[in-house]
Amino acid sequence: MSRIRLVLFDMDGVLVDTPSSWVTVHRYFGVDNEENLRRFWNGEIDELEFVRSDVRLWKSVKPDVTLTDIEHILSSVKIMDGAAETVSALRRLGIKTAIVSGGIDILAGRVASTLGMDYSIANGLCADGDGRLTGEGILRVRISNKAESASGIMRSMGIQADEALAVGDSITDIPLFDLCAAGVAFNTDDARVLRKADYVIDNLYSIVELVERLNDGG
């Protein structure tokens, strides 16, 4: 294994204490996207239509919902315990950090800025000149293939896949595990994720110790 130079983090359930930024907004508006989720995983709708269908749920409750509304709703989402210390320690070791998330970019941007991360990529919401959501989405990360987005990040940083570590908690993170030198399962009891992970942790700071060990040849 090459020396680890980059740690890629999923966001929801890993860097923030919510299983889904989308579901956080659904719950605020009192709507349920289970039907949209079923249709997506059954191949009845594509990823962009999945975003559109979720936004339609919000607009059914508040037709003039704005980006500011979404930012306010997501402001209640707390950064995961240990995330700040972990990213800070990785930075001191000279390790780059990035978010690769199918979640909402408003939250990903806040998390990356707060933690001092090097890069973040997540999906967005289109709005008109007054900030009202149009109902369209901006697809940057395909949850069916997050490795695609991760590869782009690594190319821009001049980092090879065998120099990266991926940290995730759901089946959508498995392609990241397959792409990188190693996959780390955090905060999950999903058997599929646990089977594919090279390492399993329940404390984020363990990532720092793992990187140090791997880079020392351990």
CB 8 within 8 A of CB 150: yes
d(CA 78, CA 80): 6
d(CA 152, CA 150): 5
Amino acid at 176: L
d(CA 80, CA 64): 31
Amino acid at 128: D
Q: What is the chain's Cα-based Rg? A: 17
- Which of the residues are catalytic? 10, 12
